[in-house]
Amino acid sequence: MGTNKYVIRGGEEGRERLRLLSEVMGPSTRALLEDVRVADGAACLDVGCGGGDVTFELAQRVGPAGRVIGIDVDEIELEIARRESKQKGLVNISFEARDVCQWEPAERFDVVYSRFLLTHLTNPGHVIEAMHRHARPGGVIALEDIDFRGHFAEPTCPALWKYVEFYTRTVQARGGDPCIGPKLPGLLRKAGFQDIRMKLFHPAALEGGIKLLTCITLEYIAEAVLADGLTSEGELVETIEELRRFSDNPHTILGGPRVFQVWARNGPLTE
């Protein structure tokens, strides 16, 4: 798919949303990278890297002897990522504008990583097969993706259910799968990966974090929700305001999507 099918607002504003997303996900993504054992000197690929938060993390882990390439279709996000990598003094990192559905890199990687990309694609199975080709023999793939059915609220919050419905329908209308998380182990097996492992992370909060991210995501899918005729502008504004009020109340709990973290190897260990 190209950027036109990506349901969430990207560019400069999108970068700020991804920064918040990275704050919510940071500890669990770092724990995943520990499990995967990203080695000093490794060559890594971050597919659908966005603003590059995990690309930076990988670059720090592999050190000066290693290197990381982040690819994405959003040129604005990539430009921000290049600027930030310079500010961070990371010299083992590069960002390339590529559509993962139409790209064959000339090299193979020790680690192929992707977070929250496959849920947006019409052909996730083909992309995972491509990732199998991109990983060197014995190399590792690590994926993080969502199951949107995981949302919950205490006490119940009708605006949250509207949000889940709007998000689910807009993503599905563009050929994506908002509940792809639990399908990842099967897709990896089908693509030929071995030694498949899985963990689950469920973001939930009384204040900030996933509460704020949920409100912002609803605002950032507004164009798609209205373009798809899922509701009127008036009802959408009311839903945004109701979700904000619920999220601003520190006595309520909001749980986001379940996040599946799945990793596997391309054949047996070679070293």
Q: List residues binding ligand SAM (CB under 6 A).
A: 1, 6, 10, 18, 21-22, 48-50, 53-54, 71-74, 77, 99-101, 115-117, 120
- Give me the phi and psi of 210, to 5 degrees please: -65, -25
Quick one: angle between helices 210-220 and 158-173, nearest 10?
50
State the CB neighbour count (10 A cutoff) for residue 169.
16
- Return the DSSP state at 238: H
Closer Cβ to ligand SAM, 101 or 200, answer by number: 101
For residues 74 and 177, which CB has a smaller minimum distance to ligand SAM in the complex?
A: 74
Closer to ligand SAM at the Cβ: 75 or 235?
A: 75
Least CB distance to ligand SAM at residue 77 (A): 5
**Least distance to ligand SAM from the beta carbon of 261, Å?**
12
Nearer Cβ to ligand SAM (114/247): 114
- Tokens encoding 81: 């990522």
Rounded to a whole number of angstroms, the minimum distance from the CB of residue 20 to ligand SAM is 10
SS3 of 98, please?
A: coil
Name the residue nearer to ligand SAM (CB basis): 120 or 162.
Answer: 120
Strand partners, 141: 112, 264
Judged by beta carbon, residue 217 or residue 247, the one nearer ligand SAM is 217
Closest CA to 205 of 216, 196, 214: 214
The rounded distance, in Å, linking the Cα atoms of 232 and 210 is 26
Residue nearest to ligand SAM (CB): 50
Shortest Å distance, C-beta 255 to ligand SAM: 19
Strand ranges for the chain from DSSP E:
43-47, 67-72, 93-97, 109-115, 135-147, 152-154, 194-201, 204-205, 253-255, 258-265
Identity of the residue, 6 or 246, whose beta carbon is nearer to ligand SAM in the bound complex:
6
Q: How far apart are CA 184 and CA 146, in angstroms?
A: 10
From the CB of 91, what's the least distance to ligand SAM, in Å? 22
DSSP states of 244-266? HHHHH-TTSEEE--EEEEEEEES
Min CB(123)–ligand SAM separation in Å: 10
Taking the complex as a whole, the smallest distance from the CB of residue 174 to ligand SAM amounts, in Å, to 10
Minimum gap (Å) between residue 219 Cβ and ligand SAM = 15
Residue 87 vs 102, nearer CB to ligand SAM: 102
Q: Compute the C-alpha angle 228/17/248, nearest 5°.
A: 90
